[in-house]
Amino acid sequence: MRSLHIIYKYCSLLFAALQFIVALPVVAQNNASPVRIPFGKTRFIKYDLKTGLMNVYKNNEAVFSNVYAEVKIDERLTSSKDYKKRTYTETAISNGLGKGEKYIIKLTGPDLPEMDLIFYTYPNREYFLIETEIKGDHLQSNYMAPFSGSFKAVPRDARTLFVPFDNDTFIGYNAKPFNDTLRNVSAEVGAVYDNDSRRGIVVGSIEHGLWKTGVLTASTKDGIDSVKVWSGYTAAEITRDKMPHGIIRGATLKSALIFVGCFDDWRHGLEEYGKANRIADPPYIFNWTNPTPVGWNSWGVIQDKLTLDKALKVVDFFADSLAGFRTGNTAFIDLDSYWDNMLHGGMSGDFSKLKEFAGYCMKKGLQPGVYWAPFTDWGYKNGADRLAEGGNYKFGDMWTKVAGGYHDLDGARALDPTHPGTKQRIAFMIKKLRDCGFKMIKIDFLGHAAIESTRFYDTTVTTGMQAYRKGMEFLLDQLSNQMLVYAAISPGLATGRYAHMRRIACDAFKSINDTKYTLNSLNYGWWQTYLYNYIDADHVVLSTEKEGANRARILSAIITGTFITGDDFSINGHWSAVAKSMYQNPEILKIIKNGKAFEPVEGNTGSGAAEMFTRKIGNDFYLAVFNYADKPKVFPIDLKRLGLPSEKKYTVSEIFSGNKDVLEINVDAASAELYKFSY
């Protein structure tokens, strides 16, 4: 037995040694030939250990050239080109993105902190990931740019995409013509592409817990197009910050992880980017496995006139007249702002009417929803000495400190997410709402929690995104997996960890122009359908608009992914009959159950919106067509452009009218149609 034990021990040691040998990295020095780093099928990076520059190739053609990294340490700007010695190591990795390789280029030199350029590559991914690390003593920085260089000029209908940081102040996306004088700074992610061929590049951050990221694309008259992706971006009109990005400190400083890809179709590239975000920075919130949410929100029409009587009548309408408007066995009836009209004695008073509402919803087979903005003080003009709910702190103690004073936006003042008073207030309010029996919460004005500050209460937090993560995680801890979470005004990418649903654009109501505004955000932000469980087009209001405008508004919600209505169903009106006839259409409900956003056909609409969006569901192919003009329009159909095999014969039906064997795509003025292609 003893000899067997010795043999077993020897074999175990040998196996461990072999594992160590297999894991030993490959090392190359400066005098080696350029390092070739493959990714995808026909793509590779060539890094020159002598110059510190790299090129990125697709099919042996350089897409990016002379790329370098740069960081600012204690106000000193240091580039990867400044170093004299460069070595690299290569090791195998396996993570959520699959099996791949990790390459570390180590740069050292006199009077310079060590700089590491770290690449993550995968044979089945058409992109790679890159980050920069700086190592030394007592370092501090608020600027780290892992990827800066030039790229091959885009031919024909060249576009550079502006992506907003949030969905506040009616901001929109913009696919700008990429001419020889353009400089475009996009938040978190950018894309440059030829709309004709659809070939393009996508670059952006897939981590949002520490840094805000900027993507600069620029074109010059000499024909050199440049790109830079950096951690440490702020701009008053985009990130809402009126001060520089917060400073990070330590012996090791790391940039955000950056996604870099070159694609045959820019739309596929942005979808891959969205998916990579969800993998690299997984949701903190529980996964939603119930059917696609549908329902109603009071802000559409009732707004500040909200009462218990009105809310109960809406419940009755959904239970009795819209019983077929379901994706599962229920719908959500959501009380937006001004639900405190139902309280007696304020936020610390009597919540019995809210509890009555929630119970009535459940009795009628519906799910009660509520609204709150956890990081804002709406009464700040009434003074700093007001006592905040849930504790002994005054609101003035909790206000976020910024350069010049405090952060005010949308009529509200930001609260420091790390302050114990803010936390006590959140815990107090969420417990009240949970005790009432609410099953859904719409959280709003979340961007107030992401603002840069001169000093957070928690001194370990030095950036707005760190504060945002702390605040959102604390909020979700209080919700304790008890509610569907819907984010309204909020950072677009950072909120993916914390919400099941997110509004794609803010406060659209009923007109064809409202619909066009919503569809601008869908046109260039549809790929967020892979970052969240669902994206949402905001409340659908019918009011007394004509049938065409109603169709367009309804369709804008259907193709975004969920369907939240907003009319005053506590009284009878034109909207009631339209809702009964259109919301319960089985074909429409089939699309909503799928829950994924439609994809734009075109990406050259600037700050406007495309007219056509598509989605394949099972064996059916759907085409949504919008006519924003004041005259009817016939739309020519290019099957190849739509993504349909041209050799097949299709039968086309129109969903709203029920017309079969449609021969021509003809849409009335200020209207929309939904077509199904079958073969």
pLDDT one-digit tens code per residue, 8-50: 333 333 333 333 333 345 555 555 679 999 999 999 999 999 9
Read off the pLDDT of residues 361-417 as tens digits, 9 standing for 90 and up. 999 999 999 999 999 999 999 999 999 999 999 999 999 999 989 999 999 999 999
**433 has a pLDDT exceeding 90:** yes
Q: What is the pLDDT of residue 26?
A: 53
Read off the pLDDT of residues 327-373 as tens digits, 9 standing for 90 and up. 999 999 999 999 999 999 999 899 999 999 999 999 999 999 999 99
Rounded to 10°, the helix 308-320/352-363 angle is: 10
* pLDDT band, very low/low/confident/very high, at 623 (cuts 50, 70, 90): very high
pTM of the model: 0.94
Do residues 123 and 135 make contact, with C-beta atoms less than 8 angstroms apart? no
Q: What does the pLDDT average to over 562-587?
A: 96
The DSSP output letter for 350 is: B
Exposure b/e, 495-514, CB count within 10 A at least 16 = b: bbbbbbbbbbbbbbbbbbeb
**210 has a pLDDT exceeding 90:** yes
Phi, psi of 343 (to 5 degrees): -85, 155
Q: What does the pLDDT average to over 526-532?
A: 98
**2 has a pLDDT exceeding 80:** no
Q: What is the pLDDT of residue 344?
A: 93
Percent of the chain exceeding pLDDT 70 equals: 95
* pLDDT band, very low/low/confident/very high, at 507 (cuts 50, 70, 90): confident
Q: What is the pLDDT of residue 5?
A: 38
The DSSP output letter for 488 is: -
Which tokens is 442 given? 């719409």
Measured CA to CA in angstroms, residue 646 lies from 85, 639, 640, 649, 667 at distances of: 56, 6, 6, 8, 23
Neighbours of 62 (CB within 10 A): 14
Domains delineated in the chain: 25-280 (2.70.98.10), 294-376+421-595 (3.20.20.70), 612-678 (2.60.40.1180)
Q: What does the pLDDT average to over 620-635?
A: 97
Rounded mean pLDDT of the chain? 93
Read off the pLDDT of residues 241-295 as tens digits, 9 standing for 90 and up. 999 999 999 999 999 999 999 999 999 999 999 999 999 999 999 999 999 999 9
Measured CA to CA in angstroms, residue 453 lies from 165, 363, 415, 448 at distances of: 18, 46, 11, 11
Gyration radius from the chain CA atoms: 27
**455 has a pLDDT exceeding 60:** yes
Q: What is the Cα–Cα distance from 296 to 569, expressed in whole angstroms?
A: 9
> 177: helix, coil or strand?
strand
